[in-house]
Amino acid sequence: MLFLILKAIASVLAAWYGVYATVTDFHEKRDGIERLSKAGKQGISFLVMVSLFGICVDVWKEWHEHENEAAGQESTKQTAAKLENVLLEARRAGDPIEQDFKLTFGFRVDGDQSIVRHYIHRVAKSTEHDFHFDEFSAKFPVANIKSEASLSELAHFDGIDINFYKGAVDTSSGGLFSLHFDCSGHKKLDIVRPGINGQRTIYIECEVDTTGMPTKDFQSYRDMDGSNVFIQVSTKEGKQKEDPDAAKNDFNISFKAPEGEELKDFDFEPSIGRLLSKKRRLCELSDPNRISCGESPGLNILACYSAKVKCD
């Protein structure tokens, strides 16, 4: 409204001067020469000022409208953001994390490695068809057979700790949500040969239940989806299954590590990692990357991984 009033004033002044200039002669003669009088000069100056005033009003109007439009857009963005947060909180409240989870986690070991081959040969010599063993089977890797010591250490992992982070994994601090699984007595081992001439592969898996209490930052599966996790796999110090009868079996002797071969770390990688709730909500621990581990007194840390969580 103010812009219209100012623009009207400028227009009225310009129109008034136009009429006044029409009926008034702003010239005078000096020394026989007709010149613009002082009033004429003042009139022209007045007309220029009125015109500039009108232009300034137009510029001010455009600027003010632009400011109002920008403020309106910002207000719309803020309203949309608030609405999105409300909807997000509503979805979180409608999809709460359960307290009971079933973890399936395991490793894949390439059977072509020399240390692993000794174990496969031992088992194959006494087994024709069934290459599926539980943790209490005599055919599970044992520590006091030299060629199986490293594999036995991996196969007898006990604890799996999973810490959840909304940002990058920070091993120096605890996660915003944590789950602990005790795999003692819950492990299976499969020796699989993909084809007639294919190399055998060992799969060691644990399937176990646990309970985890939701936290302020992790109350919904929507919080878990897209989060990052730190996974620590460990055994209790000094715990490896030893078979007191293993050394008495003649067939073990020929499968010990060759003379001069050192027992060293062998290659293994996660084969599966998933969390399943009682309501059948599935979260996959995908894209695991091995990272360095910190120290945990009383535990023998076997491996640590960072991974991404993807929930259905």
Q: Are residues 127 and 209 in the same domain?
A: yes
Task: Give residue-wise pLDDT tens across range 129-152.
Answer: 668 889 988 889 988 888 888 888
Phi, psi of 63 (to 5 degrees): -65, -45
Please report which helix (H) or strand (E) contains residue 178, including its range.
strand 177-182
What's the pLDDT at 226?
92
Residue 98, pLDDT score: 83
281-312: per-residue pLDDT in tens? 899 999 999 998 877 777 888 899 999 999 98
Instruction: Examine the domain organization and report whether 234 and 148 are in the same domain.
Output: yes
Assess whether 230 and 164 both reside in one domain: yes
Same domain, yes or no: 130 and 79: no
Q: Choose from 127-131, 211-215, 254-258, 306-310 the range with maximum mean pLDDT.
A: 306-310
Note the pLDDT tens digit of each residue in 52-96. Answer: 777 777 777 777 777 777 776 777 777 777 767 666 665 666 678
Residues 253 and 297 in one domain: yes
End of a domain among 31, 63, 92?
92
267-271's contacts with Cβ under 8 Å and 24+ in sequence apart are: 267/109, 267/110, 267/113, 268/107, 268/108, 268/109, 268/110, 268/154, 268/303, 269/107, 269/108, 270/105, 270/106, 270/107, 270/108, 270/305, 271/106, 271/107, 271/108, 271/203, 271/205
Q: Which of 41, 60, 92 is the last residue of a domain?
A: 92
**Residues 79 and 106 reside in one and the same domain:** no
* Whether residue 143 sits in one domain with residue 162: yes
Structural domain harbouring 9: 2-92
Q: Are residues 130 and 237 in the same domain?
A: yes
Burial class (CB in 10 A: 0-12, 13-18, 19+), 159: buried
Same-domain pairing of 86 and 105: no
Domain end among 72, 92, 112: 92
Contact 164, 174 (CB under 8 A): no
Q: What is the pLDDT of residue 17?
A: 60
- 219 in the same domain as 195: yes
Domain count along the chain = 2
